[in-house]
Amino acid sequence: MTSNFTDTAASYATVATEALEAIRVAAALGMQMEAPAGTLVYDTYVHQKDGSASVPLGLFSSREAALNAAGEWILNEWWADEYMPWKNRCLGEVTSAGRSLQRVASNEEAHDYLNDMELWTNDHTPADVIAMVDDGKGKLRYTIRVVTIK
Amino acid sequence: MAPITAIASLDDAMEAIRVATAIGLTVVAPQGTVVYSAFLYATGEGHNVPLGVFSSREAAQARVSEYIVSEWFSEEYMPWADRSYGEDPTDDPDTYITMMEEWVRNSTPEQVLEICSRSFSDVGYDITAMKVG
């Protein structure tokens, strides 16, 4: 990889782009590459609307990667943790447990409701979930902070 | 900083990015690279202070050390020294603080961390290596 150097920011940017690609490839090959000081990362959390129960999802190389991780976590992890155990607990004791299940009258209706939920999960993508969150739906939010590496 | 004209090695690549960020270009850390997240905590209080994300373990340790010396010492020890002044005429806070500042100045970050972790059990630190996703 080579490039001509002139004393302009554009030339620096071109060289930096080549440098980033070289580092990305080296890291992908398994080399232990440390991110240079001064570069940025996207620090990502999912949390309840009120800010409680924050879950750190890690540091990402782009906002898109961070959003995808947030959407994936909400779709796969949160539902798996929150709804599936709840589903297992509720089935068979419909009348005494569950927030939404309290609105249904029978085990059959409960099964239908939960099956619908599973179908919805299978039919949607992380991007769909992010769109819903951005519309204010659901009880989870995400935060993406841009952090400069020191 | 010497200008980089061609990326012939990974060292060149790191230097090129350092130059780019130093002149104000926005550069995002490549996926797969490693960073070091550091925080300080007060043992038993569930209180921690995030100190940021660093490009090397040494940089993270230096920040932890600096924080312990400049922030934690000033919050914990300087008010105590002020309170103590007058209660015990032999306990001169200026002398104490000067000695402490000299000790800090003459110690490496590693020594500060080692000595503090042995001497003051109510403060600890953690440095975690994280891969950028």
Q: Are residues B108 and B85 in the same domain?
A: yes
Q: Are residues A17 and A69 in the same domain?
A: no
Q: Are residues A132 and A63 in the same domain?
A: yes
Give contacts of A39 with chain B, Cβ < 8 Å. Answer: 17, 21, 27-29, 55
Residues 27-86 of B with CB under 8 A from A: 27-35, 37, 52-56, 59, 63
Please tell me the total count of domains within chain A: 2
Domain containing A4: what range?
1-34
Q: Are residues B90 and B124 in the same domain?
A: yes
Distance CA A36, CA A45 (A): 23
End-to-end CA distance of chain B: 30
Q: Are residues A26 and A82 in the same domain?
A: no
Q: Are residues B75 and B24 in the same domain?
A: no
Q: Are residues B15 and B78 in the same domain?
A: no
A72 touching B (Cβ < 8 Å) = no
pLDDT in the model for residue A75: 83
Q: In this structure, is the dihedral angle defined by the CA atoms of residues B27, B28, B30 and B32, taken in order, positive or negative?
A: positive
Q: In this structure, is the dihedral angle defined by the CA atoms of residues B14, B20, B23 and B24, taken in order, positive or negative?
A: negative
pLDDT in the model for residue B67: 82
pLDDT in the model for residue A139: 77
pLDDT in the model for residue B128: 95
Domain containing B5: what range?
1-30
User: Chain-centre distance of CA B66, in angstroms?
Assistant: 4
Name the pTM for this structure.
Answer: 0.74
- Dig out the tokens for A66 from the structure: 């961070």
Q: Are residues B114 and B53 in the same domain?
A: yes
Q: Are residues B86 and B104 in the same domain?
A: yes
Per-residue confidence in pLDDT tens, chain B, 133 aa:
556 667 888 988 998 898 889 888 899 999 999 999 998 876 666 667 899 999 999 999 889 888 877 776 655 555 544 544 455 545 666 676 676 667 667 777 777 777 666 655 456 788 999 999 9
Mean pLDDT, 10 residues at a time, chain A of 150 residues: 57 87 91 93 90 86 96 79 52 43 58 71 87 85 95
Q: Are residues B73 and B22 in the same domain?
A: no
Q: Are residues A50 and A16 in the same domain?
A: no
Please tell me the total count of domains within chain B: 2
Give contacts of B59 with chain A, Cβ < 8 Å. Answer: 37, 150
Q: Are residues B11 and B70 in the same domain?
A: no
Give contacts of B52 with chain A, Cβ < 8 Å. Answer: 147, 150
pLDDT in the model for residue A92: 42
Q: Are residues B21 and B85 in the same domain?
A: no
Q: Are residues B70 and B97 in the same domain?
A: yes
